């Protein structure tokens, strides 16, 4: 009830939820549009725009239907990208001007780099969502392929470092089984574990093969540290 009163006090007549797994309770007096979209660089922003833009049109200033609230989980990436796209397509803002306006209203506004690329395509195609989407399909495919290549390359480098440290530890033990493990070797193993943990992507696309290699490298490091 308080949420409905808050929306009413702000003149909000339409809520647009831009998120894949958010199901907010919206009063029956307030129109609600849900646009499923994940927040990662390869998510199809352009493919999700049409219903979102049409919903914003219904509550835009001058429509006489009341205001519109566009939100996602944090109000940083998905909702901002959607509003920026509306400014590009409906108000003919440049991308820079639209982002500036969004950040003036929401200082935390920061669409992910994949969304920025999609918005650049939208600007380059004069706000034509369908034309931009066709170009984006190929761009996203290339983006995923490059991301997977980098993930596997990084994971392989982690495993190579683990193999090298394992061999050094084996040589040390074969030359003097009773000697303590050198502190520099222990430090390198610990640093490698930190690097492996930091190398796991948080928001971006991950790759099953790269994830398996990282896990194997991490298990080897844990075993080597535990066997000192």
Task: Report, as residue numbers or ranges, the catalytic residues.
Answer: 72
| Helix spans in the chain (H) | 2-9, 45-59, 78-90, 95-105, 113-124, 129-175, 183-199, 208-226
Report the C-alpha gap between 52 and 84 in whole angstroms: 12
d(CA 132, CA 130): 5
Tokens for 219, please give them.
Answer: 């298990």
End-to-end Cα separation, the chain, in angstroms: 61
Q: Where are the alpha helices (DSSP H) in 10-77?
A: 45-59
């Amino acid at each position: 009830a308080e949420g409905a009163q808050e929306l009413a006090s702000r003149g909000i007549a339409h809520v647009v939820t831009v998120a894949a797994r958010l199901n907010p309770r919206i009063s029956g007096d307030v129109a609600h549009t849900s646009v499923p979209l994940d927040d990662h660089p390869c998510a199809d922003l352009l493919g999700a725009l049409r219903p979102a833009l049409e919903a914003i049109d219904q509550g835009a200033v001058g429509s006489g239907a009341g205001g519109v609230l566009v939100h996602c989980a944090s109000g940083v990436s998905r909702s901002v990208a959607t509003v920026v796209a509306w400014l590009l397509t409906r108000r003919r803002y440049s991308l820079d001007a639209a982002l500036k306006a969004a950040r003036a209203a929401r200082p935390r506004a920061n669409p992910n780099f994949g969304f920025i690329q999609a918005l650049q395509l939208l600007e380059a195609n004069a706000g034509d969502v369908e034309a931009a989407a066709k170009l984006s399909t190929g761009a996203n495919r290339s983006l995923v392929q490059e991301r997977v290549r980098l993930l596997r390359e990084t994971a392989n480098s982690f495993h190579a470092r683990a193999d090298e440290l394992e061999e050094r530890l084996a040589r040390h033990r074969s030359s003097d089984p009773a000697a303590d493990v050198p502190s520099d070797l222990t430090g390198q193993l610990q640093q490698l574990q930190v690097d492996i943990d930091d190398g796991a992507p948080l928001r971006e696309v991950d790759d099953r093969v790269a994830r398996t290699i990282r896990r194997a490298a991490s298990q080897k490091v844990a075993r080597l540290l535990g066997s000192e």
